[in-house]
Amino acid sequence: MNIRDSIRTIPDFPKPGIQFRDVTTLFGDPQAFRMAIDSLIHPYAGQRIDKVAALEARGFIMGGAIAHQLSIGFVPIRKAGKLPGKCMSESYTLEYGEATMELHEGALKPGEKVLLVDDLIATGGTCEAGIKLIRRAGAHVIGSAFIIDLPELGGRARIEALDVPVHVLVEFDGD
């Protein structure tokens, strides 16, 4: 079994020419899901991690599982208007426009060490917004972990330029 084989590709979604990498098939396979979570945690063995922060929405599935595995807290980073309490926000650019991510104020304490997770790196904009929010809260991003990287979109380099190590399980080129 390998993780790549458990990821379904859906052609022309959400628009023609896009090869959508669907991790829900990986989530539905208990062996593949366990392997992915264990593989995402492995590089951080022995490091102090206080919280897992995850990006909406598929990142929440992984983030919750990782936090449970490590017996630490979980912090959601959501699209604007989805969190009920007082939030910090960070906007980022999309291909056509702008979006905003939010983090509850007080969800992270100054000095906490945070692992940031999501299912996929594309352009890295959402992850960059998450990193900036975590840092504004006074916490430190000790690393970022993803199931998939789409290297031709440059997200990994964008995250690494912020001095955040990137751990990825599978790369998909523009095939």
Q: Does any domain span residue 127?
A: yes
140-163 pLDDT per residue, tens: 999 999 999 999 999 999 999 999
Q: Does any domain span residue 29?
A: no
Q: Does any domain span residue 87?
A: yes
Is the four-CA dihedral 138, 144, 145, 149 of positive or negative sign? positive
Instruction: Give residue for tokens 């199931």.
Output: 147
Q: Which of the residues 34, 48, 56, 95 is marked catalytic?
A: 95
64-91 pLDDT per residue, tens: 999 999 999 999 999 999 999 999 999 9
**pLDDT at res. 68:** 98
Q: Does any domain span residue 79?
A: yes
Q: Does any domain span residue 24?
A: no
Contact of 119 with 8, CB cutoff 8 Å: no
Domain count, the chain: 1
**pLDDT at res. 87:** 98
160 is catalytic: no
Q: Please state whether the predicted TM-score (pTM) of the whole model is above 0.75.
A: yes
β pairing state of 73-79 and 97-104: antiparallel
Q: Which of the residues 58, 78, 156, 158 is marked catalytic?
A: 58
**pLDDT at res. 37:** 98
**pLDDT at res. 173:** 87
Q: Does any domain span residue 143?
A: yes
- pLDDT confidence band for 57 (50 / 70 / 90): very high
Instruction: Give residue for tokens 């929010």.
Output: 133
Q: Does any domain span residue 97?
A: yes
- Residue 4 CB: number of other CB atoms within 10 A? 15
Task: Give one DSSP letter per residue of 14-68, joined into a string.
Answer: SSTT-EEEETHHHHTSHHHHHHHHHHHHGGGTTS---EEEEETTHHHHHHHHHHH
How far, rounded to the nearest angstrom, does the alpha carbon of residue 89 sit from its chain's CA centroid? 17
**pLDDT at res. 111:** 98
Mean pLDDT of 109-117: 98
Domain boundaries, position 144: 46-171
58 is catalytic: yes
**pLDDT at res. 97:** 81
> Can you tell me the distance from the alpha carbon of 42 to that of 36, in angstroms, rounded to the nearest whole number?
10
Nearest to residue 145, comparing CAs of 28, 7, 37? 37
Q: Does any domain span residue 82?
A: yes
CATH of the domain at 99: 3.40.50.2020
